[in-house]
A and B are shown apart, each in its own frame.
Chain A
């Protein structure tokens, strides 16, 4: 699978496969310049939700989803599927959420509709926790 969002200069020819880490949190790409897709492992998945995770920055500078914050309603994101076809999504809305009140099912939950959700970090960088306080979630719908 691949993802392309011209509005923010993202063009990733191959997505990493991500799952649930042993501590129950979401696995994230080890490479700051790669985008990962959450794979729930289902053999026959009827959910229409595609969830992509990417870093906002690395230790030294901006990372692949640094400009996610610049996506605006209507911006087009194209996802290349494993069967060679592609699906176009239009941004519907962006929300910034505190990690300690993360809307798990609004991001990772099943969806009857064909939707795309992109996630990166936002907010303040908490030095003690070595973690951003918030996540930025972009919701897009199939067009």
Chain B
């Protein structure tokens, strides 16, 4: 239900996108941008061939032995996603009806779903292919669904609200349903607070100790603050 409002808001943009595709112009609305100064969330995905699902929601063969390690950093305030994608053992040419063959799709594990973001395909000699950069929305995929691009109305805040409902994959001519696929999982940001200072170098007096104790006592395993930039549904 949460997609209804954005879809209405982007009706005009969708019309423009449809026109562009229909006249065969490879217009990319998505803009390659510099890395933002900060991020609101980060995600990783271990993509493997056994997780590939066909459009009929049934398991489909991926490329045996291949893997994809997909790392994403998001600034949802700016609608920027930075990506570091590494494929191992993916062979042959890419193939997809979308404008590239490397995507984030929206679907639960074991289900098929539409692409929301299309990334530049990983490239490289030999067994390893990589792709890195940052894209800024609004996003387009080149795939038309219900009369509009499947990226229309999509916001990165939707990934932050429910990362497990999205997966990364890449499609090749030999494995059109996907060579590898993996659901997104959130990773923590910044350093890990694993010390209270008793043995640390420098002044580690009572004031310091009390502060660290307060930091850790807040919740069961140390959760202390309310995230501000989170749109949880």
Contacts and interface: CB of A to CB of B under 8 A. Distances in A.
B195 A120 contact: yes
A125 B197 contact: yes
A50 to B, nearest CB: 13
Interface string B195-207: 1111111111001
B191 A23 contact: no
Nearest to A62: B199
A40 B230 CA distance: 18
B186 interface: yes
A44 B51 contact: yes
B5 interface: no
B200 A24 contact: no
A77 interface: no
In this complex, the interface size class of chain A, counting residues with CB under 8 Å from chain B, is: 35 or more
Interface of B: 40-42, 44-48, 50-51, 67, 69-71, 84, 88, 109, 164, 182-183, 185-204, 207-213, 215-217, 219-227, 230
Q: For the complex of A and B, list the 9 residue pairs with the smallest distance between their C-beta atoms, beginning with the closest.
A: A99-B191, A125-B200, A121-B195, A26-B188, A110-B46, A23-B225, A40-B185, A59-B209, A108-B187
Contacts, number: 205
Given A109-B69, A112-B46, A135 B192 contact: yes
A23 B189 CA distance: 9
A20 B196 contact: no
